[in-house]
Amino acid sequence: MIDLDEQYLSGEHKELRAQLRKFIAAEIVPAAAAWENLGTLPHAVFARMGELGLLGVSMPEAFGGADFDTLGTVVFGEELGRSGFGGFMSAISDHADITAPVIKRNGTPEQLQRWLPDIIAGRRIAGLAVTEPGGGSDLVRMKTTAVRDGDHYVLNGQKTFITNALSGEIFVTVARTDPEAKGAAGFSLFVIEKGAPGFTTGAPFSKTGWSSSDMSDLFFDDFRVPAANLLGEEGRGFYLMMQGIENERLSIGAQCVGMAERAIEITLDHLKQRQAYRGTLWDLQVIRHDIARLVSELSAAKLLLYHAAVKKSRGESVRLEATMVKATLPELLKRVVDVCVQHHGASGYMRGTEIERLGRDARPHSLGGGASAVMLDEVAKLL
């Protein structure tokens, strides 16, 4: 696989990669299969990563973070994906790479001090509560409402497909505060803390993959949230969410790269060892060409990802590039794992093998964070 570290990464970036890879190999991979059966990631994993400084890669140093740029986010996402466990990747990414940055960008100094240190240290698990039944990628169809009542807002509605719903304690939630507003206007962001009356979770979802990240519904029934938990300006929630969409899409792209590279690595090992037809499977030209084609396409997509990350690290807009990354890499990942499963033969379809799990865990990235068809349409609008 193409190695871009020397061309793009600083010494600090490389140290981050080495630390993540060592930690994941020693403390995640040996235990992660048990967490798959458990259906959730133990709180101790978040606490351990917080202790090692691995949950605040892009967070300010003042709150315990490492204050890396977007390339640091890419390294973080790649190594989560390379773990081979999509559930671990999803739970940690949603906490550290998706939810925490929303608070960082929009919180007041008091709000940052109230929530970020606990999130970065892994003391409290965080999640993002946006998607609703019947809404999907069409975020302006959200129906959850928040009505001002003195020094509180009263929330009513339902969120669905929420990662860390059962283990989480802090949720960044979007609700409609102006029922008369049209389109994307009239939505606001709130930080919801579990424990108060009127906030409940549903039963855990049984997913095809990402088994160690718990997912469920969130229900708000006259739930009172303090007005002090409003993030940013009332009515600007949708636009505040969109400010972070570039980072989210690049993070997802990085996870796809890590998963795809891992799938190819274990498949190459298999092909070069598997005896067949008076040689190895790797001796068959059609199989070599399959892998060569995928490696070439993955390398090109990875270059786009790193190019976008460099621009973003310089403070430039990468809306087009990030959207292209999100439209391209999840679909490429699915093709990579499909070919890799195929070339493992029957063993690639056996539960308990890494390639079979990657085959299942590759699917959600083309659904979450904006479906691929939506991303392609957005790319077209930007041309």
| Active site positions, annotated | 248
Amino acid residing at 129: A
- What number of other Cβ atoms are within 10 A of residue 113's Cβ? 12
Contact 186, 178 (CB under 8 A): yes
Distance CA 282, CA 273 (A): 8
Provide the β-strand partners of residue 147: 154
Torsion angle, alpha carbons of 195, 199, 202, 204, to 10: -40
Token reading at 306: 């790193």
- The one-letter amino acid code at 161 reads F
CA–CA gap between residue 367 and residue 226 (Å, rounded): 33
CA distance 16 to 265: 21
Residue in the block written with tokens 């790319």: 379
CB contact set of 286 (below 8 Å; sequence gap of 6+): none
Q: Which residue has the tokens 């865990």?
A: 361
- The residue count of the chain comes to 383
CA 230 to chain CA centroid, nearest Å: 24
179 within 8 A of 4, measured Cβ to Cβ = no
Q: Which of 332, 350, 355 is nearest to 267 (CA)?
A: 355
Q: Are 290 and 343 in contact (CB under 8 A)?
A: yes
